[in-house]
Structure 1
Amino acid sequence: MRQFIALTFNSSFKEELVHIMDTLKEEGIQGKYYDSDNLHMTLAFFGETNRQDEIMEIIQSIPFPEITITINRIGHFKKIYWVGIQDNPELDAYVNGLRDALEKHDIPFDDKPFYPHITILRKAIEGDRFLQEVSTKDIKVELLQAHYLEEGLKYLPYKEQEVLEVINKIYKQKGYVTIAIDGRCGSGKTTLANKLKTYLDCHIFHMDDFYLQDYQRTKERFNEPGGNVDRERFKKEVLEPLNNQQDVLYCPLDCATLTISEGTVYPYKPINIIEGSYSCHPDLRDDYDITLFLDIDESLRLQRIEERNGKEALTMFIKKWIPLEEKYFSYFDIQNHCDFYFKAGD
């Protein structure tokens, strides 16, 4: 199992990289393009290692600087295409410090010189290109592990590998697993759910599909911690059928009309992921086998919400949705009642 320390990126930056790959495809450049989930920048490559916990301690001991990386060209070496970045002394210094720490702990790694780049295509032949510059600050350092699945190669962070191992253990014991992913808006709950789904034959159910209907939106209900989601309907229509190993008639709320859709039947599967804020409300918590809490710093949260929803929606989040979330998290101490804790950017 190949393992390496890498920088990973938020979805909007990955979309820019996907756009670059799409442009190459339109030019007729053929080859093995990277899946968007696998896009990263390698900082130190280990190959096979059983010292993951030591490596994680080293990563956590060296503060990652607040830097901006800017892509500005497509490079080409033999049959590999990569996206290059502007010179970045802060990133170089961080990588040097990281590698020095690995050497001091006698952890072997490939000590080839660090040339910052993001590989996007293999098995192709063409020349270099220049790009319109695109920048991001929303990056983090992770220990990634390579997994070979039926649909191809996938990279999974080491911390998330632990979650998979627990899921598989419970599944072997019980024959079914229900996982809840709660946490602050913009922290990556949907992204993590979709990533786990690439490894699991499962359904994903979203709490965002169960906000209150118009007639339920009373002052009394909104004053209730976690009251702005229809957990009663979610429990009846999703969790109870899953507990009885039955199909789920999934009926999302249409946010434009605040009415419930006719729904779609989800055939029963023994592994299911419940994703979204309010999923770990005390009224629902006992229905889960594993619970995860995803956290995020305030500045990064606002940045992600603006990129995802726009400035006008950001104002609504700040005035309404974020305070409601925080009230719920604080009142029920959700973070400390979850089995796993992840923080965006860590």
Structure 2
Amino acid sequence: MRQFIALTFNSSFKEELMAIMDTLKEEGIQGKYYDLDNLHMTLAFFGETDRQDEIMEIIHSIPFPEITITLNRIGHFKKVYWMGIKDNPVLDEYVNTLREALKAHDISFDDKPFYPHITILRKAEEGDRTLQEVSTKDIKVELLQAHYLEEGLKYLPYNEQSLIEAMNKIYQQKGHVTIAIDGRCGSGKTTLANKLKAYFDCHIFHIDDFYLQEYQRTQERYNEPGGNVDRERFKKEVLEPLQHHQDVLYRPFDCSTMSISEGTLYSYKPINIIEGSYSCHPELIDACDLSIFVDIDETLRLKRIEKRNGKEALDMFIKKWIPLEEKYFSSFDIQNHCDFYFKAGR
């Protein structure tokens, strides 16, 4: 199994790259084009290795700098088309630090000089091209593994693949599996849940749909670690029916009317994802087979929240929601009790 550390990108940026690739097709450039999900930039190639956990620790130990990747040309080498980037000394320095750390841990990799590029096409005609610049700051460093699935070759993140394998194992043993995805706001919990939904025929239930009802919003309640969600209703209306293999009448709390909605009936499925902060609360976690903690650096977290919710909402997160969340994490040592640990990249 081929394994390598790579930069991966968000969907909107990859869709821009796919549009460029479509233009090449229209120009008559034939060959084997990369799928959208497989687009990446290799930083260190291992081939076969059984030291994935050590590699993940190294990735997490080296802060990824805030950089912008700008693609500005299309080149070729032996019928391989690639997109090249503008000179980026900060990226070069990061890759050098990463590779030195791998060497220090005696982890073997292909030590060829780093030429940053994104491969887009193989078995193609030759011919360089200029490229209208496209840029992104939304970048993540991941350990990818090559898997040959029914739909073809896929490069899957190591931690996601390990989670998928663990879910499959439990499903084969029990005939059903429920997982909880907890972690810091803005870390990518919903994104991870949606990725898993692409692999499994499952339901996703969001803790954020179970805000406290008006009568529950007391200072005493907010003083409880994890007290700012209606975990009692979530347990009764979602977890207990799932444990009995029953349909779920899913009734999100409507903040605009400060009331519980009429809801939607979800037919029972044997695979279910509980997503959101507080999903690993001691009163809820016993209903789950696996737990995941998704982490994020503080600076990146605040940037994501401001981008997603706006400046005013960010102030409320800083003053209220983040402190409540952190109190819950520390009170119950949530991170250390989870089965899997993921960390968001930039």
For structure 1, list consecutive stretches of 5 or more residues without a partner in the other structure. none
Q: Please name the residue that 2:12 is paired with.
A: 15
- Counterpart amino acid of 1:221? R
Task: State the SS of the aligned residue for 1:146.
Answer: strand
What is aligned with 1:313?
313
Q: Specify the SS of the correspondent of 1:4.
A: strand
Deviations, residues 27-81 of structure 1 (Å, cap 9, x unaligned): 974974533x5442111233444443454465567x3552513214242437766
Contact 1:69 1:86 in 2 (8 A): no
Tell me whether 1:75 sits opposite 2:74 in the alignment: yes
Q: Which residue of structure 2 aligns with residue 209 of structure 1?
A: 209
How does 1:327-342 map onto structure 2 within 5 Å?
327-342=327-342
1:229 matched residue in structure 2 = 229
The one-letter code matched in structure 2 to 1:75 is: I
AA aligned opposite 2:169 = K
Q: 1:89 to 1:323 in 2, by over 3 A?
A: same
Match of 1:278 in 2: 278
1:167-196 per-residue CA deviation (whole Å, 9 max, x = no partner) reads 233223222211101111011211222223
- Partner SS state of residue 168, structure 2: helix
Alpha-carbon distance in structure 1 between the residues aligned to 2:172 and 2:285: 21
d(CA) in 2 for partners of 1:123, 1:318: 52
Identity rate of aligned residues, in percent? 71
Is 1:267 paired with 2:267? yes
For 2:293, give the aligned amino acid: F
- Structure 1 residue 287 displacement after superposition: 0.8
Q: Hey, what's the Cα distance between the residues in 1 that align with 2:233 and 2:154?
A: 36
Question: Per the alignment, do residues 147 and 330 of structure 1 end up closer, same or farther by CA in structure 2, a change over 3 Å counting?
Answer: same
Q: Please state how far the C-alpha of 1:153 moved relative to its aligned partner.
A: 4.0
- For 1:119 and 1:214, the matched residues in 2 are separated by 54
Shift of residue 108 of structure 1?
5.5
Counterpart of 1:159 in 2: which secondary structure? Answer: helix
Cα distance in 1 for partners of 2:254, 2:334 equals 27
- One-letter amino acid of the structure 1 residue matched with residue 159 of structure 2: K
CA distance in 1, matches of 2:210, 2:252: 6
| 2-structure distance, mates of 1:252, 1:22 | 38
Aligned CA distance change for structure 1 residues 24 and 246 (closer, same or farther; 3 Å): same
Are the counterparts in 1 of residues 67 and 90 from structure 2 also a CA contact under 8 Å? no
Tell me which amino acid in the other structure corresponds to 2:313: A
Counterpart CA distance in 1 for 2:256 and 2:80 is 46
User: Which 10-residue stretch deviates more, 228-237 or 305-314?
Assistant: 305-314
Relative to structure 1, is the Cα distance of residues 27 and 173 closer, same or farther in structure 2, using a 3 angstrom cutoff?
A: closer
Secondary structure of the structure 2 residue equivalent to 1:198: helix
CA distance in 1, matches of 2:122, 2:317: 42
Deviations 1:293-321 (A, max 9, x none): 12222111101112222223212211222
SS in 2 for 1:303: helix
More moved, 77-86 vs 98-107:
98-107
CA distance in 2 between partners of 1:310 and 1:82 (Å):
37
Q: Within 1, Cα distance between the matches of 2:184 and 2:60?
A: 22
1:131 alignment counterpart? 132
Q: In the aligned structure 2, how far is the partner of 1:23 from the partner of 1:213?
A: 49
Alignment partner, residue 193 of structure 1? 193
Is the contact made by 1:65 and 1:90 (CA closer than 8 Å) also made in structure 2?
A: no
Distance change >3 Å, CA 315–CA 55, structure 1 → 2: closer
Paired amino acid for 1:269: K
Indicate the residue corresponding to 1:157 in structure 2: 157
Q: 1:297 maps to which residue?
A: 297
Q: What does residue 146 of structure 2 align with? A: 146
CA–CA separation in structure 2 for the residues paired with 1:241 and 1:217: 26
Q: What one-letter code is carried by the residue in structure 2 that aligns with 1:293? A: F
Q: Structure 1 stretch 160-169 or stretch 189-198: which is displaced more?
A: 160-169
Rounded to whole Å, the distance in 2 between the matches of 1:101 and 1:278 is 35
Instruction: Indicate if the aligned counterparts of 1:71 and 1:131 stay in contact, CA closer than 8 A.
Output: no
Supply the distance in 2 between the matched residues of 1:187 and 1:111 (Cα, whole angstroms): 32
Contact 2:73 2:85 (8 Å CA) reproduced: no
- Using the TM superposition, name which of 43-52 and 312-321 deviates more: 43-52
**Offset at residue 123 of structure 1 (A):** 7.4
Paired with 2:264 and 2:153, the residues of 1 have a C-alpha distance of: 31
Structure 2 CA distance, aligned partners of 1:300 and 1:67? 9
Which 5+ residue runs of structure 2 have no aligned equivalent?
A: none
Do 1:76 and 1:127's aligned partners in 2 also have CA atoms closer than 8 Å? Answer: yes
Determine helix, strand or coil for the equivalent of 1:321: helix
Equivalent pair of 2:74/2:128 in contact (CA under 8 Å): yes
Q: Tell me the TM-score normalized by structure 1.
A: 0.83
Q: CA RMSD in A?
A: 3.2
Moved more, 291-300 or 97-106: 97-106
Counterpart position of 2:35:
34
Q: Do the aligned partners of residues 108 and 193 (structure 1) sit closer, same or farther apart at CA in structure 2, a change above 3 Å counting? A: same
Please, what TM-score do these two structures have when normalized by structure 2?
A: 0.83
